[in-house]
Structure 1
Amino acid sequence: MSGDGAGVRFWRKQKLGSRDFTLNEPRETGEVEGDGEGERDGSIRQGASTEYRTYKRRWFGLIQLTLMNIIVSWDWMTYAPVASHAAEYYNVRESTINWISTAFFLAFVAVFPISITILHRGPKLAFMTSAVLILIGNWIRYAGSTKASGGSIACAMAGEIVIGFAQPFILAAPTRYSDLWFTDRGRVAATALASLANPFGAAIGQLITPLMVQKAGDVSSMVLYISIISSVCALPAFLIPAKPPSPVGPASETPKLSLRESIGVLSSSLEVWLILIPFAVYVGFFNSISSLLNQMLKPYGISDDQAGIGGAVLIVVGLVAAAVSSPIIDRTKSFLLTLKILVPLVGISYLIFVWMPETKDVAGPYVVLAILGASSFSLVPVALEFLIELSHPLSPEVTSTIAWAGGQLFGAIFIIISDALAAGKDASPPKNMKNALIFQAVLALAVVPLPLCLGLFGRESKTALRRIRSDEQNRSNTTITTNP
């Protein structure tokens, strides 16, 4: 594609230095690291050793992937934090605003098979596809929101759906990108940075959107500002290099199974499903609680601004916890133990949160949301990378896209169910969501035993880290250097 050619010409002109910021990867040009067996461009050999190279330009792609995950999530959270003002502006009920979030999740599910196919060809094409859809979707939304006096809910919904189409191409890309550009010493941290940028975008929406919208007429300018920011962040996607000039390690050049073969292997792997199911359920509940948090807290006297801060606490504490835990897991490779610790914490947090709104104070909800965020966010990169380890040599985008698609589907279902379980105006307090919180807790606890069964009943060999083992088998015959 022409965008790919432009990216190649751009990177050929760059003169980057010999030092590199790393995520526990080789830092100096010429530094020797064991990382597998193979050839650089199929031809570089030094005696019996094989030379692989990591490239500094991978950081530009990772930054762009991170930015796009931030903005696509902020786009999703455009209306939910100010649902009452948005409903007034578009002259609809608040439940209709909830349907905008639901449509966003369902749009992901509708196109995720296409995103798997495109990601299978490489992350660059997925970047560009997502960028185009983000641009189109944002400006469709603004086309129906140009007047301060009122807007078109049809345009808002249509634009949100188009942005929803963009999300799978970028949300499922981190594992594919890290597999292509990073060694086993940096994949978890790289995947964490790009994947957790998505909820960070939601945190920005939770915090900033209520500040931008003080009355219904402010919705128009808010949509415009978000559209401009989204456009600026999406455009550099066309300059990102498509792939490294040579493989960075043996795992990145291992022939991957075809998509048809991958689906067959995936459907028969019990261990993969023991991770996929709780991952999808917990992502679904995160999407649901992010969309409905103000409606969960507001009946008990907690304001939109305070609820927005609660959403930010959920996400920011989670990001900090993931930033601390991911490099540690990169070094220790303790995927299974981490999974078995974090999943019960997530389930228990949802149980305790059932009673938090009734305290009518922000302290309780904030503490539980902080614990929930720390455990949930630390879990995301671990689960995604462990899925790839268990399913190697499946291409990484297969498991990650299916995992995220399940989360988006459950998110849509949970929002619909929670909306239906909301109390009426004659309840005490009116419109409380106690029943929805109970439903959330019961299901969150129900999936806890699934990952706890991993490695039991004589199936310990099924939890082997296949991709890492592939890298380590020939570690003594390999050198890795860092290039521009």
Structure 2
Amino acid sequence: MASSSSFSLEATVQDDVERTADPPDVEIDVVCTPHVSETVPDSAKRTQERSDFQDDGETPPLTTYRVYKRRFIGLAQLVLLNIVVSWDWLTFSAVSTTSAEYFKVSEGAVNWMSTGSLFAFCAATPIVMYTLNKGGPKPAITATSILLLVGNWIRYAGTRANRKNGGIFGLAMFGQILIGFAQPFCLSAPTRYSDLWFSDRGRTSATALATLANPFGAALGQLVDSFWAPTASDVPDMVLYISIIATVASIPSIFLPAAPPTPPSASSLAPKTPLLEAITKILQSLEFWLIFIPFSIYVGFFNSVSSLLNQILSPHGFSETDAGIAGGILIIVGLVASAIVSPITDRFKHYLGTIKILVPIVAASYIGFIFAPSSPAGIAPSFVVCALLGASSFSLLPVSLEYLVEITYPFSPEVGSTLCWTGGQLLGAIFIVVQDALKAGADDSPPFHMRNALIFSAAVAAAVVPLPLSLGLFGREVKRRRSQADRGGPGPVRNAATLTESVTITAAAAEPTGLDSKQMTR
């Protein structure tokens, strides 16, 4: 080469009122071109000479980074599917007493409706991880839709057949297990989808929106199911309504684009570590375990508390409607809190500080749950604890997932997130069984109270608090590798430590209109 090269980013930011030749849904263009520099050492020269750019006098190829408005269509579909699949998961648990009466089984058997779904989630994990890694989010979304359709209508058949004698519990359980197979496909997809379609300025918010749609569906189940099935005879109609909603929500999946025409950022374009190698290496990372263990435990307890909330409150004289309102508060307050925290985290990237603030609050909320149901103040303390637990848990969830992607880059995003979700679902199933076994007997006061189960959840939740608080301590440096790659810093995409990087941001029509351009050199 006649002179050394480094990389220059020319960003064209389009205003909504600007008329350009780009497609109507393109929001940002970022074009990578070589930039002349006289200060690059020989090692960088040799690296550059081995690149794809040819020293033959021709203009090297351009790499264009764009984000498209159509990305919100796929995000909306992910949100919709996560709402429905979670609503399906808690269909019977939200009205456990009524469902047990209809099917003529015990409440423990009804608990297995949600527990079986969680175990099905774990069983499907290897297929989910392979699908997301090799095919991306589109095949995963399609698989979710198919399993939701089949599972919901089999479940309805199980409740409608032999209605006079309480339906066919085994058939309804089979449909519930199929829905359990559907859940990991859409619940593990948000980090992969946001990495594929969004730049670093919107990934955390996109992940939060799609991920937290799942507990929002649980909130709908808690609130709506108790009104749709006030008596045992209404259970088949409740399942029918949910099946119709699931059918409508599944249809748009087939029309989604598989990937954007151009990548949104440098980290999205970079090749990811092969799947088996990524799994092996991520399991050897101490930082992964410091996030994985508390994440799995808190997700597990959230699942168990959501499933058992009616049974936690009913021994103290509260109705299924009260439990439904408590579940709604848990999730709606959490969604509002996350809607505030996630954009702030997107802007300032304070992942670790946010995690270290929220984890102790989550643990304190589970401790508060020991005393809230039996409080002489009535249902109000339970509502307050649910609000606090929801706000802290929901804010923590997407931040933890995105932080895990940041520190494990260049591993593909679905690897860490799928492992974490699988741990949470597995522990959720185990916790439901354990806490159901810890339920008091008929001779206790009040009968069938779950104080011991709540003590168990509080003790375990408090025990894992030191793990995430240890991140970045004891001489271990934790780097946000994906952010470094997006900004052209040292990272797995390009070894740019010795290269001079310049960034030019130009208005969309700068050249033809004579508008000023701003140049920033880092």
SS at match of 1:52: strand
Structure 1 letter corresponding to 2:486:
D
Structure 1 letter corresponding to 2:434:
I
Residue 143 of structure 1 aligns with which residue?
157
- Contact 2:316 2:446 survives alignment (8 Å): yes
Residue 303 of structure 1 aligns with which residue?
319
- CA separation of 1:180/1:134 partners in 2, compared to 1, >3 Å: closer, same or farther? same
1:419 aligns with 2:433: no
Match 1:473 to one of 488, 499, 504: 488
1:32 CA displacement: 6.3
Residue 348 of structure 1 aligns with which residue?
364
Match 2:76 to one of 35, 44, 63: 63
- Contact 2:365 2:388 survives alignment (8 Å): yes
1:264 CA displacement: 1.5
Residue 494 of structure 2 aligns with which residue?
none
- Contact 1:37 1:250 survives alignment (8 Å): no
1:24-70 deviation per Cα after TM superposition (whole angstroms, max 9, x unaligned): xxx99575669x889xxx99x99998531111111100000000000
Structure 2 letter corresponding to 1:142:
Y
1:88-111 deviation per Cα after TM superposition (whole angstroms, max 9, x unaligned): 111111100001110010000001
Structure 1 letter corresponding to 2:130:
T
Residue 88 of structure 1 aligns with which residue?
101
Aligned-partner Cα distance in 1 for 2:74–2:95: 33
- Contact 2:29 2:64 survives alignment (8 Å): no
Provide the alpha-carbon RMSD of the alignment. 2.3
1:248 CA displacement: 1.2
Residue 79 of structure 1 aligns with which residue?
92
SS at match of 2:237: helix
Residue 21 of structure 2 aligns with which residue?
none
Structure 2: which 5+ runs fail to align? 1-13, 18-23, 35-51, 490-500, 509-522
- Contact 1:134 1:163 survives alignment (8 Å): yes
Residue 333 of structure 2 aligns with which residue?
317
Match 2:373 to one of 338, 357, 372: 357
Aligned-partner Cα distance in 2 for 1:225–1:278: 36
1:285-323 deviation per Cα after TM superposition (whole angstroms, max 9, x unaligned): 000000001100110011110111000100000000000
Identity over the aligned pairs, expressed in percent? 54
- CA separation of 1:31/1:421 partners in 2, compared to 1, >3 Å: closer, same or farther? closer
- Contact 2:30 2:65 survives alignment (8 Å): no
Aligned-partner Cα distance in 2 for 1:311–1:391: 34
1:72-119 deviation per Cα after TM superposition (whole angstroms, max 9, x unaligned): 000001001111111111111110000111001000000101100000
1:132 aligns with 2:146: yes
Aligned-partner Cα distance in 1 for 2:504–2:119: 45
Aligned-partner Cα distance in 2 for 1:260–1:47: 34
1:476 CA displacement: 3.9
Bigger helix fraction: 1
Aligned-partner Cα distance in 1 for 2:506–2:105: 59
- CA separation of 1:48/1:229 partners in 2, compared to 1, >3 Å: closer, same or farther? closer
Aligned-partner Cα distance in 1 for 2:179–2:240: 15
- Contact 1:299 1:429 survives alignment (8 Å): yes
- Contact 2:33 2:60 survives alignment (8 Å): no
- CA separation of 1:442/1:480 partners in 2, compared to 1, >3 Å: closer, same or farther? farther
> 1 or 2 for the larger relative contact order (CA 8 Å, sep ≥6)?
1
1:431 aligns with 2:448: yes
TM-score w.r.t. the length of structure 1 is 0.90
- Contact 1:31 1:480 survives alignment (8 Å): no
- CA separation of 1:37/1:207 partners in 2, compared to 1, >3 Å: closer, same or farther? farther
TM-score w.r.t. the length of structure 2 is 0.83
- Contact 1:37 1:477 survives alignment (8 Å): no
1:185-204 deviation per Cα after TM superposition (whole angstroms, max 9, x unaligned): 00000000000000000000
- Contact 1:48 1:477 survives alignment (8 Å): no
Q: How does 1:173-322 map to 2 (within 5 A)?
A: 173-322=189-338
Aligned-partner Cα distance in 1 for 2:411–2:211: 20
Q: How does 1:90-109 map to 2 (within 5 A)?
A: 90-109=103-122
- Contact 2:26 2:67 survives alignment (8 Å): no
Residue 417 of structure 2 aligns with which residue?
400
1:336 aligns with 2:352: yes
Residue 11 of structure 1 aligns with which residue?
none
- CA separation of 1:125/1:429 partners in 2, compared to 1, >3 Å: closer, same or farther? same
1:355-381 deviation per Cα after TM superposition (whole angstroms, max 9, x unaligned): 111115111011111011000000000
- CA separation of 1:299/1:446 partners in 2, compared to 1, >3 Å: closer, same or farther? same
- Contact 2:309 2:323 survives alignment (8 Å): yes
- Contact 2:29 2:66 survives alignment (8 Å): no
Residue 155 of structure 1 aligns with which residue?
171
SS at match of 1:51: strand
- Contact 1:290 1:311 survives alignment (8 Å): yes
Structure 1: which 5+ runs fail to align? 1-16, 21-26
- Contact 1:52 1:478 survives alignment (8 Å): no
- Contact 1:49 1:477 survives alignment (8 Å): no
1:352 CA displacement: 1.3
Aligned-partner Cα distance in 2 for 1:197–1:252: 24
Bigger strand fraction: 2
1:236-291 deviation per Cα after TM superposition (whole angstroms, max 9, x unaligned): 11111000111111111110011111012111100011001100000000000000
- Contact 2:25 2:69 survives alignment (8 Å): no
- Contact 1:423 1:431 survives alignment (8 Å): yes
1:19 CA displacement: 4.1
Structure 1 letter corresponding to 2:419:
I
- CA separation of 1:59/1:154 partners in 2, compared to 1, >3 Å: closer, same or farther? same
1:464 aligns with 2:455: no
Aligned-partner Cα distance in 2 for 1:200–1:30: 30
- CA separation of 1:133/1:476 partners in 2, compared to 1, >3 Å: closer, same or farther? farther
SS at match of 1:357: coil
1:221-242 deviation per Cα after TM superposition (whole angstroms, max 9, x unaligned): 0011100100110111111100
SS at match of 1:256: coil
1:411-461 deviation per Cα after TM superposition (whole angstroms, max 9, x unaligned): 0000000000000001000000000000000000000000000011100x2
Structure 2 letter corresponding to 1:431:
F
Q: Which has the larger radius of gyration?
A: 2
For structure 1, which segment, 429-438 or 80-89, has the greater mean C-alpha deviation from structure 2 after superposition? Answer: 80-89
- CA separation of 1:119/1:252 partners in 2, compared to 1, >3 Å: closer, same or farther? same
For structure 1, which segment, 307-316 or 49-58, has the greater mean C-alpha deviation from structure 2 after superposition? Answer: 49-58
Residue 12 of structure 1 aligns with which residue?
none
